């Protein structure tokens, strides 16, 4: 075999190996933390690519991306932020898609606190109720919309304990700093069952659908790992995990 052919084969092998081992920097909405922590290692096992995850509020990620944060893929908690990023020229056109639709739940870490119909809200016999910041977190906005639809917003807003994102709202409730709160169903559901405490899954008609869109950001335009993760999130393995956490596909 001549030296030129050897060199070509070496370069081709190196390029394929590098692509196979690529990382993708992913900004992940806080409500999607648990399922994404399950999806990421399976994605790496199946594709060889590694998803490097950062978790936080969608609104905060939007600001960071505007300021040059090198995320390659955004898994948003809403459908508005990815659309805005595309409009602003900060994301790759035509890569936006809905990867899941989330569900809002009123939850307490203690059994018997939240009834199956959510009537505890009207009773108001609690000192604090946790929500995520509605300006930054879509689940917080959904909680506000729900209370407004139930004509309970004015009555209960003085009892709000507000987290920066849905993860912090969940922490307030799980630690007992708030006896109950609005969180994402994915935070309290494992394998299709609410793991502990008491809960009321908020009927979908009480707030706008929490459609969660993903989009490839400009730094990920030519990333094979970003393209692979985008495809993986649309596949059966990822969707099985999503359903086990209460997401609708």
Residue pLDDT, tens place only, 133-155: 998 888 999 999 999 999 999 99
Q: Which residues contact 155 (CB under 8 A, 6 or more apart)?
A: 124
222 plus 233 within the same structural domain:
yes
User: Would you say residue 249 lies in a domain?
Assistant: no
* Same domain? 116 vs 92: no
3-state secondary structure of 88: coil
Q: Look up the CATH number of the domain holding residue 129.
A: 3.40.190.10
Residue 20: CB partners within 8 Å, gap ≥ 6? 48, 49
Could you tell me if 157 and 226 lie in one domain?
A: no
125 part of a folded domain: yes
Chain center to CA of 130? 18
6-20, 32-46, 100-114: the lowest-pLDDT one: 6-20
Structural domain tally of the chain? 2
Domain containing residue 222? 3-101+211-244
CA–CA dist 34, 2 (Å, integer) = 52
Residues 112 and 93 in one domain: no
171 and 186 inside one domain: yes
Question: Does some domain include residue 44?
Answer: yes
Same domain, 118 and 133: yes
CB burial of residue 77 (10 Å; 0-12, 13-18, 19+): buried
In a domain, 39, yes or no: yes
Q: What is the largest CA-CA distance in the chain?
A: 84
| 162 in the same domain as 39 | no
The C-alpha angle with vertex 137 and arms to 237 and 182, in degrees rounded to 5, equals 85
- The answer to whether residues 178 and 123 belong to one domain is yes
For residue range 203-229, what is the model confidence (pLDDT) as tens digits? 999 999 999 999 999 999 999 999 999
* Pair 76, 126 in one domain: no
Half-sphere exposure of 135 (CA within 13 A, CB side): 4
Q: Would residue 144 count as lying in a domain?
A: yes
Residue among 64, 66, 80, 2 nearest 27 (CA): 64
- Say whether both 152 and 108 belong to one domain: yes
* 227: its two tokens: 């393209």
Query: Same domain, yes or no, for 110 and 157?
Result: yes
pTM equals: 0.79
In a domain, 206, yes or no: no
| 164 and 128 in a common domain | yes
Confidence of residue 95 (pLDDT cuts 50, 70, 90): very high
110-134 per-position pLDDT tens digit: 999 999 999 999 999 999 999 999 9
- Tell whether 31 is covered by a domain: yes
Q: In sequence order, what are the residues at sequence separation of 6 or more whose Cβ sits closer than 8 angstroms to the Cβ of residue 100?
A: 32, 212, 242, 247, 248, 249
């Amino acid at each position: 075999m001549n030296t030129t052919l050897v060199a070509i084969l070496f370069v081709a092998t190196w390029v394929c190996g590098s692509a196979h081992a690529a990382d993708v920097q992913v900004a992940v909405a806080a409500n999607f933390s648990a399922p994404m922590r399950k999806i990421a290692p399976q994605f790496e096992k199946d594709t060889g690519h590694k998803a490097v995850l950062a978790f936080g509020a969608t609104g905060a990620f939007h600001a960071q991306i505007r300021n040059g944060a090198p995320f390659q893929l955004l898994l948003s908690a809403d459908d508005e932020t990815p659309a805005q990023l595309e409009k602003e020229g900060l994301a790759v056109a035509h890569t936006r898609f809905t990867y899941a639709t989330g569900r809002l739940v009123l939850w307490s870490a203690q059994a018997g606190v939240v009834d199956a119909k959510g009537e505890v809200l009207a009773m108001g016999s609690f000192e604090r109720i946790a929500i995520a910041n509605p300006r930054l977190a879509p689940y917080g906005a959904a909680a506000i919309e729900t209370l407004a639809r139930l004509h309970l917003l004015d009555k209960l807003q003085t009892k709000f304990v507000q987290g920066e994102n849905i993860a912090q709202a969940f922490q307030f409730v799980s630690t007992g700093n708030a006896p109950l709160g609005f969180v994402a169903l994915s935070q309290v559901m494992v394998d299709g069952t609410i793991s502990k405490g008491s809960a009321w899954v908020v009927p979908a008609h009480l707030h706008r659908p929490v459609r969660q869109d993903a989009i490839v950001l400009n730094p990920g335009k030519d990333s094979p790992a970003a393209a692979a993760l985008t495809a993986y999130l649309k596949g059966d393995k990822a969707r099985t995990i999503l359903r086990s956490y209460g997401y609708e596909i």
